[in-house]
Amino acid sequence: MSESSEADRPLVVTADDRLLDDLLRLCAAAGVTPEVARDASAARRVWGSVRLVVVGPDRAVEVAAMSPARRDGVVLVGTDADDASMWVRAVSLGAEHVLVLPGQQDTLIELLAGCLDGAVLRAITLSVVGGRGGAGASTLAAALAATATDRGLGTLLVDADPLGGGIDMVLGTEDAVGLRWPDLASASGRLAAQSLREALPQVRSLRMLSWDRSDLVTIPVPSMRAVLTAGQRGHDVVIVDCPRRLDGAAVEALARSTMTLLLVPAEVRAIAAATRVLASLRAVAAPISLVVRGPGPSGLDASVVADALELPLAAAMRPERGIAEWLDEGLGPVRRRRGPLVGCCASLLDRLGVLGGAPA
Ligand SMILES: Nc1ncnc2c1ncn2[C@@H]1O[C@H](COP(=O)(O)OP(=O)(O)OP(=O)(O)O)[C@@H](O)[C@H]1O
Ligand SMILES: [Mg+2]
């Protein structure tokens, strides 16, 4: 292999020796030799000349305060799956990804390897999982995707729930022309981002990958990997509607997500069910945040649900009146721009720094 140029080398910023050891090992696995900076002033020297910057939580605040700090291709990498402050730091850093090791090390290796060909992943990726059946997870996923699209962001909505009936039906777009999962079941390896984007059904600028009405009921893991990798390259935001019972493809999607949102109705039995869902999520997803749908029948507060599940509360939302009829009539979940569902989606995207504003 020829000598790598400075841009081909990722910048690693941390003074945490254990984290640095992990990162050096993953760089070696990716075939790249990093520049290592132990503090922000050392980082500043090469800040603008590398394609990818990996920042440890120990240096995140210092780097965020650096001027000029904002740039593309910044990844925050930690080792504590329960550290709720990670994504707050990620927002202040303008990080495109938050990854927790060791669960998300494959994603990091792929990002690091991308330095060599300039193919750094771009999209913020949010997975949505229901804490119980019918919690409203698919509806929230579709509404998040619609809200991101309204912000001018290139958005991909991926239906990873084989038994969910099709996310296209939530949006009322089942007639849209383009590829569905059965068409991609044999996909693997590297898909061209632009070709995939152009081949998927589109509603305004929102692209989606859903099911058709045939009977394929599992997504092969290599297909999910190939689709998400290309989808993350070709979009600004990727939203994944995940099943509660995780299969291999869902695990793959969760491991590639910037954040997982667990949606739980404010009900005692929903908390019990969500505890079980959460146990399987914790093994593969990080960070996980809670969205509570209330009010519950006995007035349980969202903070009580968060305490019971020991999750950071990302948002609480009230029911969207009339939504059952909208969905049944194929009108989509976003009919009321000032309703609780759109408000919840907007605040979730804001908190993650998914601001948009200009067409992608
Ligand atoms: N924000 C909301 N406010 C009020 N009702 C809602 C809301 N979201 C969803 N619903 C109602 O809940 C029903 C189920 O929603 P949805 O299919 O999104 O749930 P889910 O968690 O994805 O279910 P599944 O367990 O089948 O995956 C919808 O048909 C709608 O009637
Ligand atoms: Mg669903």
Q: Where are the domains of the chain?
A: 6-114, 124-351
DSSP-derived letter for residue 339 is S
Q: Please give the pLDDT value at position 12.
A: 97
Comparing CA positions, the residue from 102, 99, 3 lying closest to residue 54 is 99
Pocket around ligand 1: residues whose beta carbon is below 6 Å from it? 130, 133-139, 161, 164, 319-320, 323-324, 327, 341
CATH superfamily, domain 6-114, is Response regulator (3.40.50.2300)
Same fold, 6-114 and 124-351: yes
Ligand 2 centroid to Cα of residue 360, in Å, is 28
CB atoms under 10 Å from CB of 99, counted, come to 26
Q: Please give the pLDDT value at position 1.
A: 35
Q: Please give the pLDDT value at position 48.
A: 75
Of ligand 1's listed atoms, the one at least distance from the Cα of 333 is 8
Q: Please give the pLDDT value at position 121.
A: 54
Read off φ and ψ for residue 101, nearest 5 degrees: -90, 150
Q: Please give the pLDDT value at position 358.
A: 43
Exposure class string for 9-48: b at 16+ Cβ within 10 A, else e = bbbbbbebeebbebbeebbeebebebbbbbebebbbebbe
Whether 229 and 115 have beta carbons less than 8 Å apart is answered as no
Comparing CA positions, the residue from 257, 271, 244 lying closest to residue 129 is 244
Q: Please give the pLDDT value at position 2.
A: 37
CA distance 179 to 199: 6
Of ligand 1's listed atoms, the one at least distance from the Cα of 141 is 18
Sign of CA dihedral 115, 119, 122, 128: negative
Q: Please give the pLDDT value at position 234.
A: 85
Ranges under pLDDT 50 in the chain: 1-4, 120, 358-360
CA distance 127 to 43: 32
Q: Please give the pLDDT value at position 124.
A: 87
Ligand 1 centroid to Cα of residue 327, in Å, is 9
Of ligand 1's listed atoms, the one at least distance from the Cα of 344 is 1
Q: Please give the pLDDT value at position 360.
A: 37
Measured by CA distance, the residue closest to atom 16 of ligand 1 is 136
**Domain 124-351: which topology?**
Rossmann fold (3.40.50)
Read off φ and ψ for residue 192, nearest 5 degrees: -75, 125
Q: Please give the pLDDT value at position 357.
A: 57
